[in-house]
Chain A
Amino acid sequence: MTTGFNWHRWRLAITGSIIIGIILIAAIFAPWLAPYSPYDLDVAAMLQGPSAAHWLGTDELGRDTLSRLIYAARISMQVAFIAAGVGLVCGTLIGVTAAYFGGLVDLVLMRLMELLFSFPAILLAVVLMASLGTSILNAMIAIGIVFIPGFSRLARAATEVVLREQYVESARAIGMSNTRILFREILPNIIAPLLVEAAVAFSYAILLESALSFLGLGAQPPEPSWGNMLNVGRGFMAQSLMLSLAPGMAIFLTVLGFNFIGDGLRDALDPHMKD
């Protein structure tokens, strides 16, 4: 075992973090980084190819593709963080409750989660969008709900391990309340695997949000999102390849980045993988 930093072990997680870091910076500083407004029309410059003025060309209304791509990163990142957050918080609460109280509570909650899990994610999200209404906020809620079963299973399994530890038993013995035990003893000890799962959820949220927006159920025009940009690009494929290539590449890189972080953390934290 080396005492220094093991680059080989962390390289995947670091590569992923660099990719996501760049996209996060683009999202946060969009107003300063984007060369144009993402909404300004320019009928004199419709469907142009890449040029010095428009690095990635323009869309069917003459809007700058690069600027729209940068602003769209904001939406995707917001959706990913909020949806994964909803899934993480609700899923953890359900999973921990099920494991802590056991018996009938456990049975009912986990059966329900199993049931939700058996729906294909995209179908569940799409159906929820139908009743919630098409907006980006509802997309976050719908995608968050899709994540709840996964987090709850993981939280339940991790809690069961923790519950066998002596410190939980002693906390009970000294008369600590259930809520205090949950927040002081259990949550801090199950958070690591849940955060790894969250990285995977981020990448899945990006995919789901762009699929919903692609179908016209997520971000609504003129708000730019990678999904609805791709959908528009499909109609102008013969005139401009860039309209289809650029947003797709953005989704691909973001998903890849989050996957790298997830896989990398899992490998690095897994004791079997020590080399």
Chain B
Amino acid sequence: MARFLLTRLAAFVLTMFAASIILFIAINVVPGSAARSALGIDATPQAIARFEASRGLDRPLVVQYAEWLRKAVTGDLGTSFQNGVPVGPELLTRIPVTLELALLAFLVANLIAFPLGVMAAARHQGWVDRAFSTLASLLGAVPNFWLATLLVMLFTLWLRWLPPGGYVPLGTDPVANLKLMIMPALSLGLVSSALLLRIMRASMIEVLSRDYIRTAHAKGASEWVTLRRHGLRNATIPYINVAAVEFGFLFGSVVVIEDIFQLPGIGSLVLVGIINRDYPVLMGGALVITLFVLVTNLLVDIAVGFLDPRRAKEGQA
């Protein structure tokens, strides 16, 4: 098991390193766009050259990356082109917002997907199954930013229950915080629940058709006991894998949802970085989101390794 953990950890570090290269290339793939964005379209070539020289953008990409990496490993992610604010500390104040949003959304998604998926599978091809499956395909087609708009219409404009957006830290006022977080979390979570519901249903149906379930029934175990003791445990592993991927993707969607609800998280920072072509900000924000995704994958790999040691052995090869 120690070897399994070490190989996974090494793979994680390598992936993170490679991911930073890809992000760096993706951001810098078109030369000069930062200068043109900062100086406007009327900028003279001399002004663009000065801008690039002062920020080191005129050097070869490899040199720029090497310097970025050298500083990044010491925790220095550079300063914003736009306002000179250091990127690292800015990210640290924003991480809790995004993390809370993603966790709440993930909670919403699972609270819906897990029980409904199990119920649908237990009543396979009955009307419950059909109703929940239809619900899943409908939810899966709703764009989360449209759902966000609809929720604001309902809860803010009509019912006047919730504020349209803004942020209060959880530590300052938990109730106000949750009031502001409910709609963003629902917008992300309801849409995510669609895929998870389908996965839970499918893997549960698969498990319930196995021989040991029939044996349990034959022994006279009640339906609930069979479901819980034999079905759930075996159907959960594929579910966890997909849920982890979905959790990672939630971090991508925060770019859209944080903007709608004016949440000061990583996602809204990434968007500001893009609109201003503020490379250090964009790079830092995108890297944090990638880090969240990769850490999630790592933790799930390890968790599944413990739940199913055969997998851990395969993973070593």
Residues of A within 8 A of B (CB): 115-116, 118-124, 126-133, 203, 207, 210-211, 214-217, 230, 233-234, 237-238, 241, 244, 247-248, 251-253, 255-256, 259-260, 263
Contact = CB atoms under 8 A, between A and B. Distances in A.
B149 A233 contact: yes
Interface string B78-110: 000000000000000000000000000000000
Contact of B271 (A115, A121, A215): A215
A256 B146 contact: no
B294 interface: yes
Contacts of B27: 127, 130-131
12 contacts: A115-B18, A123-B289, A126-B274, A128-B29, A130-B273, A130-B277, A131-B27, A133-B30, A216-B275, A230-B149, A252-B141, A259-B137
B245 to A, nearest CB: 9
B113 interface: no
B150 interface: yes
A118 B14 CA distance: 13
B140 interface: yes
Contacts, number: 124
Contact of B33 (A120, A121, A131, A256): A131
A252 B249 contact: no
Contacts of A211: 143, 145, 256
Interface residues of B, number: 46
B198 to A, nearest CB: 10
A230 B143 CA distance: 11
A207 B145 CA distance: 10
A247 B150 CA distance: 12
Given A234-B260, A259-B137, A123 B286 contact: yes
B253 interface: yes
Interface string B115-152: 00000000000000000000001101111011001101
Nearest to A217: B274
Given A126-B274, A131-B30, A121 B141 contact: no
Contacts of B293: 118-120
Given A207-B143, A237-B157, A130 B137 contact: no
A253 B137 CA distance: 11
Contacts of A256: 137-138, 141
Nearest to B30: A131
Contacts of B137: 256, 259-260, 263
A273 to B, nearest CB: 12
B290 interface: yes
Contacts of A253: 141
Contact of B143 (A115, A216, A251): A251
A248 B30 CA distance: 33
Which secondary structure characterizes the binding site on chain B? helix
A131 B256 contact: no
Contact of A119 (B140, B141, B290): B290
Nearest to B286: A127
A132 to B, nearest CB: 6
Given A237-B157, A241-B153, A120 B146 contact: no
B29 A234 contact: no
B259 A215 contact: yes
A132 B277 CA distance: 11
Contacts of B140: 259
Contacts of A238: 157
Nearest to B270: A126
A127 B157 CA distance: 34
| Closest CB pairs A-B (n = 5) | A120-B252, A248-B146, A256-B141, A130-B274, A255-B141
B282 interface: yes
Interface string B253-297: 101100110000000001101110100001000100110011001
B274 A129 contact: yes
A131 B283 CA distance: 12
A230 B290 contact: no
A251 B15 contact: no
Given A118-B19, A211-B143, 16 more contacts: A119-B293, A120-B248, A120-B252, A121-B249, A122-B253, A126-B270, A126-B274, A127-B274, A128-B29, A211-B256, A215-B255, A215-B259, A234-B152, A238-B157, A251-B143, A251-B146
Contacts of A244: 146, 149-150, 153
Contacts of B289: 120, 123
A132 B30 contact: yes
Nearest to A243: B149
Contacts of A121: 249, 252
Contacts of A116: 22
